[in-house]
Structure 1
Amino acid sequence: MKKGKLPNFDNKIKLTHLIIACLAVAIVTAILTYVAAIGGFGSKQYLDDARRYVEIEKIIDDNYIGDADYNELYNAAAAAMVKSIGDKWSYFMNAEEYEAYKLSSSNEYSGIGVSVKVNSSGEFEVFSVEESSPAANAGIAVGDIITAIDGEDVSDKTLEDVSLLIRSKVNKDFPMTLESGGDTKTVTVACEIIYKNPVSSRLLDGNIGYIKISNFEAGSSENTKKAIEQLLQTGATSFIFDVRNNPGGLLTELVDLLDYILPEGDLFISVDKSGKETVQTSDKVSLKNKMIVLVNGNSYSAAEFFAAALQEYNWATVVGEQTTGKARSQITLELSDGSAVHISTHKYLTPNRVDLAEAGGVTPDIAVAQDDEKTDKQLETAINALG
């Protein structure tokens, strides 16, 4: 809530009525100053909102029998305010969440390079270790059970607690205690900022180049183009682009990749709050190999528009399940305390001017449900369609 944001009350003690009254005056004055700076738009509403917020704080301060965490009060109020607009793609992030968000947007994260699950015994079991990661270098292996982090027992913690505890050690070396094959070991591991390539690829039988795009965050387009070129050099004659479980990402990454693949024409249209349209276009250079795009119900946003554009150009066959229908883009605005608001600002239309939010997502050309975890029927269908 940038407009007249209240101070941080982390260490606030019980205040007298006089001090709270003075605080209320100060806050209202600050809001009036802000309102004047932006030309007075909505000034009475801002003032009423500030007064109501201060009144509620005063009630809590005067009457609540416990000790209120005022930072949590602010975060809850801010989150509720954004949620109340009714847009499921808009949300508030506290400072810690925003830091993690910024890392994820660059395909980076703070960690040690492991994936952890809660096993059937309720233990925190390592089920994957990234090659050359801090965890791998420290000797942590798949199947190890994490029992303590930096001397702190984790038996009563949640999986999220364990993840946060590890991430809080960023740029530090710390001890981790594990059970491995019946033995207990303590290793020293470094929590680092790790880049995770969102693109993986391999050559399948039949000279089919398979490319998995995990997201459209920073580096995804360049890495996808590199994968295409490498697969072409190794004999690929057709491609499967897998954007299942892809949450989307950056507009610039999507535009760059579509421009590389598609011929000259419109890629998609963005429409702002005033109705102004901006058209993203492609040049004449294109990839002419036969293609299939794999999608499912967890294909969001940029992943959907990637599939929709190739489908509408008749450039690829879409295989899988109906996508989500997230045809809105957001901007993230940082507040003065390091928290942020992620809010929808544009709607997007496909090259044929389809609003995927209204259409309920991208409809596959070949619908295939993925109901067997052991067999990837969607990938099998895509391979057969190229054969």
Structure 2
Amino acid sequence: MLMMKKRNFLFLMIIAVLIGALITAGVVYFIGTMSGGYVSITKDDYEKYKLMKSKYGKLDELQSYIDKNYYIPPDEKKLEEGMYKGLFWGLGDPYSSYLTADEYEQMKVAITGEYGGVGVTIAADDEGYITVVAPMDDSPADKAGIETGDRIIKIDGKAYDSLSLDKAASVLRGKAGTKVDVTILRGKETLECSLTRANIVTHTVKAKTLDDNIGYIRITGFEENTADEFSKELRNFEKKEVKGLVIDLRDNGGGLVNIGVDIADLLLPEGVVTYTKDRNGERYDYKSKTGATSLPFVVLVNGGTASTSEILTSAIKDYKAGKIIGTTTFGKGIIQSIEQLDNGDALKLTVMQYFSPKGNVIHEKGVEPDIVVEALADDKDDVQLKKAVEVLEK
């Protein structure tokens, strides 16, 4: 990255003249610049210059061509952003990417599950509006009377539609205690709502007691608060002395690896939960401690069960701690590292692969359930959940 940022100086060099003179540092090269002057560089620097010109000279030529011939003056910042994104695109890895500062902030919200905002889920509808899917309980949006189906047409006096959904979501977020004005279209009535942003915490764990005293915990993602929420619900079911527990990981796309390991620690005996290997073959083990729950449990999975969900599922399967029910999981067995840059942008790069405790590969294979149960097209009765309860009752 630093080499790319410094390349402008090198690309402006147009003439390289070797001067046959010996200086204390060795041979010195004089490079002509567009300004008409010359600068001297050492032989080592000259070799680096040639390498840079060979590697990135074509890119500079393409940019110059665009600058001269595109029908309107191009946005230089967008071009630069496109170059960086293209570099990661060339990996052919959908999980590695260059993130703008806005994209990075959105990712942090997804990872932490905590942000400043009004507490409303929005989506684009078929008519081009931004529609409220649901306000969160006790959130500023909920307290202001915003309802499911309301259409957000203006934020702070500026119009937004479905094409500007991401921007609207970004504007609705902000520091807790700050105000934002939202114009709502409800049917034919236009409503003005003045909201004060608050600290919003999303919840990824939901629990209930099923018939015949069976506990049910659904995990929708692995965020910073997920393990604490899961532990709380698990302890409640232990106190209630339920017959067994259904852990639902269907359509859980993953999240933070360490959170998945923390949950595994509550379910598994002491040992390796998963291990990773990098490009050099260096191995790192994630381990659980003693103190697993005594409740019998089963785990529900499907094709949307991915990443950290698969780490947890594969460990449970390898230890035979509980039955896995459903269909083969997605098959994302790689881990990304995220690093923020000085300008606020960030890099997301796949840096290692993880394996089940027994060394099974998960990536592009997934985890096969112990009991295969296909969901029905119109599955109001949830046959997979019914099977899970049946297994526990036995």
Greater shift in the superposed pair: 168-177 or 96-105:
168-177
Structure 1 residue 278: Cα displacement: 1.9
Partner in structure 1 of residue 23 of structure 2: none
Aligned residue pair count: 365
Partner in structure 2 of residue 386 of structure 1: 392
2:298 to 292, 297, 316: 292
Between the aligned partners of 2:229 and 2:278, the Cα distance in structure 1 is 30
SS at match of 2:329: coil
Taking structure 1 as reference, are residues 168 and 61 closer, same or farther at Cα in structure 2, changes over 3 Å only? Answer: farther
2:368 to 358, 363, 378: 363
Structure 1 residue 373: Cα displacement: 5.4
SS at match of 2:391: helix
SS at match of 1:329: strand
**For residues 251-290 of structure 1, what are the structure 2 equivalents within 5 Å?**
251-290=257-296
**For residues 1-387 of structure 1, what are the structure 2 equivalents within 5 Å?**
1-5=1-5, 45-119=51-125, 121-155=127-161, 157-167=163-173, 172-180=178-186, 182-357=188-363, 360-370=365-375, 371-372=377-378, 374-387=380-393
Amino acid at match of 2:73: D
Structure 1 residue 159: Cα displacement: 3.5
Partner in structure 1 of residue 18 of structure 2: none
Contact 2:266 2:292 in 1 (8 A): yes
Contact 1:261 1:287 in 2 (8 A): yes
Structure 1 residue 62: Cα displacement: 2.6
Structure 1 residue 75: Cα displacement: 1.5
Amino acid at match of 1:134: P
Contact 1:2 1:336 in 2 (8 A): no
Contact 1:202 1:231 in 2 (8 A): no
Contact 1:291 1:317 in 2 (8 A): yes
Structure 1 residue 342: Cα displacement: 0.7
Amino acid at match of 1:103: V
Between the aligned partners of 1:44 and 1:134, the Cα distance in structure 2 is 59
Structure 1 residue 228: Cα displacement: 0.3
TM normalised by structure 2 equals 0.83
Amino acid at match of 2:87: M
Contact 2:257 2:308 in 1 (8 A): yes
Structure 1 residue 96: Cα displacement: 0.8
Amino acid at match of 2:325: V
Taking structure 1 as reference, are residues 179 and 310 closer, same or farther at Cα in structure 2, changes over 3 Å only? Answer: same
Structure 1 residue 374: Cα displacement: 3.4
Q: Structure 1 stretches of 5 or more lacking a match?
A: 9-14
Greater shift in the superposed pair: 309-318 or 197-206:
197-206
Contact 1:240 1:293 in 2 (8 A): yes
Amino acid at match of 1:64: Y
Amino acid at match of 1:331: S
Post-superposition Cα deviations, 1:247-288, rounded to whole Å, max 9, x if no partner, equal 212222122221221112221121111111122222332112
Amino acid at match of 2:223: E
Please tell me the root mean square deviation across aligned C-alpha atoms, in Å.
Answer: 3.0
SS at match of 1:306: helix
Structure 1 residue 348: Cα displacement: 0.9
TM normalised by structure 1 equals 0.84
Between the aligned partners of 2:235 and 2:349, the Cα distance in structure 1 is 37
Between the aligned partners of 1:171 and 1:71, the Cα distance in structure 2 is 33
Q: Structure 2 stretches of 5 or more lacking a match?
A: 15-32
Taking structure 1 as reference, are residues 258 and 169 closer, same or farther at Cα in structure 2, changes over 3 Å only? Answer: closer
Between the aligned partners of 1:221 and 1:44, the Cα distance in structure 2 is 53
Structure 1 residue 44: Cα displacement: 6.1
Between the aligned partners of 2:176 and 2:55, the Cα distance in structure 1 is 39
Contact 1:2 1:335 in 2 (8 A): no
SS at match of 2:223: coil
Taking structure 1 as reference, are residues 181 and 156 closer, same or farther at Cα in structure 2, changes over 3 Å only? Answer: closer
Taking structure 1 as reference, are residues 169 and 57 closer, same or farther at Cα in structure 2, changes over 3 Å only? Answer: farther
**Aligned residues with identical type, % of pairs:** 29
Between the aligned partners of 2:73 and 2:177, the Cα distance in structure 1 is 34
Between the aligned partners of 1:375 and 1:5, the Cα distance in structure 2 is 58
Contact 2:100 2:346 in 1 (8 A): yes
SS at match of 2:363: helix
